[in-house]
């Protein structure tokens, strides 16, 4: 339901979906490049890292002119310009980072693996459902 609302709001405002990228590793870089290739449909507006310098360097590497470089994950999820957060931190952080995003009212696309246990996955999904927020787990592709 939130995803439809998000698309509707974005369509009404005639603007791209505004993404925040949580984490600055190679997978985050790959996803950022995909988003920047979607001219008009998506925009990376913020990057979050445990270091402001690393977030700024990541944004510069991807050519994200105007993107806010946050020196903490908490600052990224508090950014009102962000519609959806791509969680690309180490997999041991995915549950806590997904919960952080959802508690801040952000839709989430979480890189694999989502959670180490079914109980933790259920906790994330329950919070998304409770808050009416979109949550998607990036499952591995089959070859």
Cα–Cα distances in Å, from 120 out to 74, 77, 111? 20, 20, 15
- 112/75 Cα distance (integer angstroms): 23
DSSP state of 69: E
Contact 21, 34 (CB under 8 A): no
Contact 138, 112 (CB under 8 A): yes
| DSSP per-residue string spanning 14-36 | T-PEEEEEE--SHHHHHHHHHHH
Tell me which of 15, 33, 103, 112 is the catalytic residue.
112
106 is catalytic: no
So which residues are the catalytic ones? 112
């Amino acid at each position: 339901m939130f995803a439809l609302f998000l698309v509707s709001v974005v369509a009404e405002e005639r603007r791209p979906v505004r993404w925040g990228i949580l984490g600055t590793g190679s997978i985050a870089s790959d996803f950022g490049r995909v988003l920047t290739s979607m001219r008009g449909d998506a925009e990376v507006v913020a990057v979050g890292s445990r270091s402001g310098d690393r977030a700024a360097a990541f944004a510069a590497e991807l050519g994200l002119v105007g993107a806010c470089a946050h020196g903490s994950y908490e600052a990224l999820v508090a950014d009102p310009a962000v519609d959806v957060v791509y969680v690309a931190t180490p997999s041991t952080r995915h549950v806590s980072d997904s919960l952080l995003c959802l508690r801040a009212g952000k839709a989430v696309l979480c890189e694999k693996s989502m959670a180490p246990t079914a109980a933790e996955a259920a906790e994330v999904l329950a919070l998304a459902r409770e808050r009416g927020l979109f949550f998607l787990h990036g499952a591995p592709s089959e070859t």
